[in-house]
């Protein structure tokens, strides 16, 4: 199989299989599933994996011991630009932090960061654009995740903002 550095030769299924393989080889992540996206989700597929944030962030005092990472790409778009959704989800705190490179919220630029709790959107901000192969985007975002999650500000059980 030949995959060109600029993304040539990539298909959605191939990208998601590579993402799944990447997380299966990382001991910080538990079960890893490749699934078809639901009708409420953008893009064709999602890779979903679980982790213990205490282990992943190397922080024994982190307030929850279970989180989920959900990743979806659409590399077959006709617009010429890949779309992706990378979400960190903590069900116990009803908390989601995600990067979106999609057609929503153009006023925030090509990529935005979304921070929310179950009661609605808390924050949407412009995020850095990464012009790279999808696997390079994954590696960059996963490396940014610990600092970004720690930057979320809380007042008890309620998100009040983010300092990043």
Q: Could you report the per-residue pLDDT of 77-133, keeping only the tens digit for each?
A: 766 678 899 999 999 999 999 999 877 767 777 899 999 998 777 788 889 999 889
Mean residue pLDDT of the chain comes to 87
In a domain, 157, yes or no: no
In a domain, 7, yes or no: no
* The pLDDT value given to residue 8: 56
Decide: 47 and 99 in contact? Cβ < 8 Å.
Answer: no
In a domain, 125, yes or no: yes
Q: How far apart are CA 75 and CA 89, in angstroms?
A: 23
Write out the two tokens for 97.
Answer: 């932090």
Domain that holds residue 112: 12-150
* Confidence (pTM): 0.86
Q: How far apart are CA 110 and CA 77, in angstroms?
A: 15
In a domain, 164, yes or no: no
**End-to-end Cα, the chain, rounded Å:** 39
- Domain count within the chain: 1
In a domain, 127, yes or no: yes
User: Is the per-residue pLDDT at 20 higher than 90?
Assistant: yes
* The pLDDT value given to residue 2: 34
DSSP letters for 6-65: TSTT--HHHHHHHHHHHHHT-TTEEEEEEEEPPTTSSSSEEEEEEE-HHHHTT-TT-S-S
Query: Which tens digit of pLDDT belongs to each residue from 48-73?
Result: 999 999 999 999 999 999 999 999 99
* The pLDDT value given to residue 3: 39
Closest-CA residue to 139 (of 71, 62, 68, 75): 71
* The pLDDT value given to residue 120: 72
Query: How many CB atoms within 10 Å of residue 40?
Result: 5
In a domain, 138, yes or no: yes
């Amino acid at each position: 199989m030949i995959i060109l550095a600029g993304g040539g030769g990539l298909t959605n299924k191939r990208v998601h299989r590579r993402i799944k393989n990447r997380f299966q080889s990382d001991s910080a992540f538990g079960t890893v599933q490749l699934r078809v996206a639901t009708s409420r989700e953008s893009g064709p597929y999602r890779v979903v994996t679980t982790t213990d944030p205490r282990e992943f962030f190397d922080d024994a005092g982190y307030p929850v011991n279970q989180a989920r990472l959900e990743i979806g790409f659409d590399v077959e778009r006709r617009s010429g630009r890949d779309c992706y959704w990378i979400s960190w989800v903590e069900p116990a705190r009803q908390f989601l932090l995600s990067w979106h490179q999609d057609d929503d919220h153009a006023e925030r630029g090509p990529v935005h960061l979304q921070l929310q709790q179950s009661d609605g959107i808390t924050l949407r901000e412009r995020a850095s654009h990464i012009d790279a192969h999808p696997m390079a985007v994954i590696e960059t975002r996963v490396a940014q995740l610990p600092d970004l999650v720690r930057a979320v500000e809380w007042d008890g059980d309620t998100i009040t903002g983010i300092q990043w």
